[in-house]
Structure formats: C-alpha cells, structure tokens
Amino acid sequence: MGLIDEIREQSAVIARAIEHNRETARLVADLVGQCTHAVIAARGTSDNAGRYAQYVWGTRNRLSVGLTTPSLFSIYDRPPKLTDALVVGISQSGQSPDIVSVLEEGRSQNRPTVALTNDPESPLAEAADVIVNLLAGEERSVAATKTYTSALAMVALISDAIDPDGAAMREVAPSVTGVLGVEEEIERAARSFADIEHCAVLGRGFNHATAFEWALKLQELTQVVAQPFSTADFLHGPVAVVEPGYPVLAVTVHGPAHAEVSEVLGQAAATGARLLTISNDPALTELTGHHITIPGEVEEWLTPVPAIVVAQLFAYHLTLAKGLDPEHPRGLNKVTRTT
C-alpha cells in the first residue's frame, strides 16, 4: 500500500475511529469537567492536530488550550506546574520520548492524562489514563495522512462529547469521500504549480492548522519551501515578500474569518501573486483563478478534515509532477524519536 492508497482510505478510517471511540470520548469529556485548561504535547503533523484542538475546544467548549514545550520536560528537566490541567499527548507512533515525558510528568503531578495514538501499546499509551485509538491501521508511508485526519476527527469527537452537536459528526467521513471525487481537478491544479520552489500558505481560525499541515506536506514531499501563516500574522511583515508571480496558497471557508482571508487574497491578487485556494466559497474562483471547492456540506468547525485531504492530494500530485518519489521523501524516516 502506498501513500495514495492511504489518502484514499481516510473516509473508512474516520468512520471506524468515530464509531469505536464514542464512549472513550465521553471518558475524556468527564476528565475535562475536572480541569480548567488543557496542555497538548505533540511534534510535526501531530502538532497541527494540537493547533486544531486549540480552536475546537476553545470555541465550542470554552476550554483554554496550550501547546506545551516538550523540551522543558526532557532536555531541560524543568517542567512547568500543571495545576488544574488536562494533559494530552498526540502521536501516531507514541514513541517519541519527549512527548511521553510530558504525560509522565502530568501523572507525577496527579493530573489526568490522555493519549491520541495509533499504537495503544506504545510508551505514550502506557503513560495515559485514557487512550484514544486512532484505528488507522498500519501507516507505511513516511508522510502521515490517515493518522492525521483520524486525530482531527478524535479531537472533534471529544468536543462533541463535551457539548453535543446533533448529527454534525456524521458528515465528517462523507465529506472526505466527496473530496476523493474531485481528485482529477486537484491533480490538474497541482500540475499547474509544478515549477514552484517556494510559497506562502495561509489560513485562519479552524483552518489555521490546515495551513500548517499543508505547508508541512509540501516540505516533506515536494521539497518546496512552504511557509505557513495565519493571515493576521502574514500582514505583520511577511506580506512584503509578495510580488508578481509569487505563489500564495490559502484555505478559507465560510465563517467569521472568511472575510479577512478573502481580503488578504484580494490584496495579493492585486500585486500579481499566483494564487490557489481551497474553499467552500465558489466566488473565489474568479478572484484566484486556481480554486478547489470543498464538496458537500459540513459545519465550519469540521472543515479542516476534508480541507486537508484536498491539500494532501495536491501535495501528492505535485510531488509526481516534480518527478519526485512520494514514497521516499528525502532525509525522512517514518518514526522520529526526539528527546
């Protein structure tokens, strides 16, 4: 099984993980009721799932969420006080010692610990009071895809367990199926960007995490120097790099942040930037020229799941268009153990 197979498998993985973890999510929700805030330990792709949790648990559940600094717990051995915190580790492998050290410290401070991992027998899982199994099956490809979307779905499922939203979760897996139906369109867009060597990747709100994960996939697979930004941060300096022909990729959906992102894209278009957007707003087609519509109906807080599948497919087909091997990204291994 190769990377493209794992991308196409995601709808089934998400549906399976949601069904399996409903009771587990309620256990996590019970722990949240005992805490005033959450701290999340993660690296790489999993760090972007943590960014998503900041917005989802913050907006829907009014929970203050911070991304911890694992080095404080490991190489500096100066962990902060975790008073009243829920301590969460996100790692597809569950093997990274510095992430494990955060949960171990949480336990030593008598704080509840939760692991989101694809390996329920991993060291991270052993350090957790509650294990949320991503149930993605073996992920052989170096670039994480199905474990990431499963982690997003589990973050959303926990949020829904805290504050139920009716049928919203039922739309997540079908939204990914809809994306797979427009793969040819995504491939054409990727081929049109085959010459890029650098770009900015923009997003805000729930899809702030999507911009970071899209940029990471471009870096891993295509060797493009992709810099992710919140559109708010982009205006505080980095916008100066935009000139005629400069590639700007963006993800934006209908919601409170959409008007601002669209305005920034309009400014970039006025300078002659080369734009590509992922959105559920077809009006952006006229503005950007290259536009991929997220198919189907899904609430804003859940759009990062189908949006990142669009971005994964774009990165995969851009890799092929550049003549690179998506199964063997330069300099990378499947499991990275950082201390």
Would you state the pLDDT for residue 293? 87
CA-based nearest residue to 150, from 317, 25, 319, 315 = 25
Per-residue pLDDT tens for 264-315? 888 888 899 899 999 998 888 777 778 898 877 899 999 999 999 999 999 9
Enclosing domain of residue 199: 172-321
Q: Which of 109, 141, 164 is the last residue of a domain?
A: 164
| Of the residues 139, 164, 189, the one at which a domain ends | 164
102 and 38 share a domain?
A: yes
Report residue 27 as tokens.
């256990």
Treating both helix axes as pointing N-terminal to C-terminal, what angle do 304-321 and 146-162 enclose, rounded to 10 degrees?
A: 170
Both 135 and 192 in one domain: the answer is: no
Rounded Cα distance, 170 and 112, in Å: 29
328 class by beta-carbon count within 10 Å (0-12 exposed, 13-18 middle, 19+ buried): exposed
Structure token digits, residue 310 = 């669009």
Domain final residue pick, 115, 139, 164? 164
Q: What is the pLDDT of residues 150-188, one digit of tens each?
A: 999 999 999 999 999 877 899 999 999 999 999 999 999
Same domain, 226 and 146: no
Cβ distance 50 to 40 under 8 Å? yes
3-state secondary structure of 131: strand
pLDDT of residue 238: 73
Residue 124 domain-assigned (yes or no): yes
- Give me the helix-helix angle, 172-180 and 146-162, nearest 10°: 150
* Per-residue pLDDT, 332: 62
Q: Considering just the CA atoms, what is the radius of gyration of the chain in Å?
A: 19
Q: What are phi and psi of 120, to 5 degrees?
A: -70, -5
Residue 327 belongs to a domain: no
135 falls within a domain: yes
145 lies in the same domain as 268: no
The pLDDT score that the predictor gives to residue 330 is: 76
Give every CB contact of residue 255 below 8 A, 6+ residues apart in sequence.
Answer: 205, 206, 300
Number of domains in the chain: 2
**CA-CA-CA-CA torsion sign (6, 328, 121, 126):** negative
What's the pLDDT score for residue 242?
Answer: 79
Q: What is the CATH number of the domain that holds 30?
A: 3.40.50.10490
**Which residue ranges of the chain lie beneath pLDDT 50?**
339
